[in-house]
Amino acid sequence: MQMLDPDLLKTFLAFVDGGSLAQAATIVGRSPSAVTTQMQRLEEIVGEQLLTPKGRGRGLTPAGEDLVGHARRILAAHREAWLALKGARAAGHVAIGTTQDFADSGLPDLLRAFAVSHPRVRIELRVGRSAELTQALQAGGLDLAIAMRQASAPDEVGLLREPMVWLCSQKGLAVRQDEIPLALLDPHCGFREAAIAALDAAGRRYRIAAGSASLAGLRTAVNAGIALTLRTARFAHSGIVEAPRDLALPAVPIAEFAIRLRKGAERPAQDLAALLSAVFQCPPDRRKEWAPARMSAAKKKPTLRSAGG
């Protein structure tokens, strides 16, 4: 019996999640022809056709659909084993910085998984704005950072793309006017620039109804119905929802976040960076399949120290 190569399964799932062989090639960093060859090799091992022509592209056969769940479980098991073996004897500490969005959503479960697999590693967590985190990383104050991406950088080890969305209070705006009231972080902020650029391009009138230096202040302003804001869906909780369609707000771009690792960072930081890259780069609706639910019985937790932002 031939074994299923994890590299082939990773490419297969990149096709499933990306929707095309070209997108899969981008995700795994290979040429389209190399991806096609990998899929042919996987079909040989399985003994079944996995892909079939569909319109201008390819779709999954019944055998391909059956393989998806198995592939995800196999790769999740590989990640768990890799983390456990890497971290069992590791010691030291990891200083990680993140924006509030990821501190609220996604990161806690992954830190828990890391703490289980690296029980002797102390975690220091700093929550702040992207510019502050980038400066701290470059100054050596952080080993690892998740920050909004302005341009490519040599220390990037992972890239996250998430749609920007217009958000407001679930109670709606306190007052509806012709001008769109905005709640924005102080300059410089990628979301602020994207919101203003989108409204300008659409010819929509707007005003800065609320400004804040922190996401906590921004959340208060939006919850009060003073204004709406532009973030990712990670910000949509605790009374904040996607803005109603009748506001006819313009389309906005995809937000890019980089996972950045300090040059010379120790092995525990490298391990955590690898975990974040593997999980956060999965589509949002698939990340829960690698949520460490099976580790929920573990008692160990990381030591978190928030430095604010």
List average pLDDT for each run of 10 residues in the chain, which is 309 residues long.
Answer: 84 88 83 91 92 87 92 82 62 88 86 84 91 93 93 88 93 88 90 95 95 91 95 91 93 92 91 86 52 36 34
The pLDDT value given to residue 9:
92
Considering the four listed CATH numbers 3.40.50.10610, 3.30.750.24, 1.10.10.60, 3.40.190.10, the one that applies to the domain covering 90-159+255-295 is: 3.40.190.10
The pLDDT value given to residue 301:
35
φ, ψ dihedrals at 80, nearest 5°: -65, -45
Q: What number does CATH give the domain 162-254?
A: 3.40.190.10
Are 8 and 46 a contacting pair, CB within 8 Å? no
The pLDDT value given to residue 283:
54
**Residue whose tokens read 């120290």:** 305
The pLDDT value given to residue 278:
81
User: Tokens representing 252?
Assistant: 């906005």
The pLDDT value given to residue 203:
95
3-state secondary structure of 197: helix
The pLDDT value given to residue 101:
83
Intra-chain end-to-end CA distance of the chain, in Å: 55
Burial (CB count within 10 angstroms: exposed 0-12, middle 13-18, buried 19+), residue 111: buried
CATH architecture group of domain 6-85:
Orthogonal Bundle (1.10)
Give the separation between CA 156 and CA 173, rounded to whole angstroms.
Answer: 39
Q: Where are the alpha helices (DSSP H) in 130-238?
A: 130-138, 190-202, 215-223
Sequence ranges of the chain with CATH classification 3.40.190.10 = 90-159+255-295, 162-254
The pLDDT value given to residue 302:
35
The pLDDT value given to residue 289:
47
Give the separation between CA 148 and CA 46, rounded to whole angstroms.
Answer: 41
Sequence ranges of the chain with CATH classification 1.10.10.10 = 6-85
Sign of the torsion formed by the C-alpha atoms of 166, 132, 156 and 75: negative
Who contacts 208 (Cβ-Cβ below 8 Å, separation ≥6)?
Answer: 182, 184
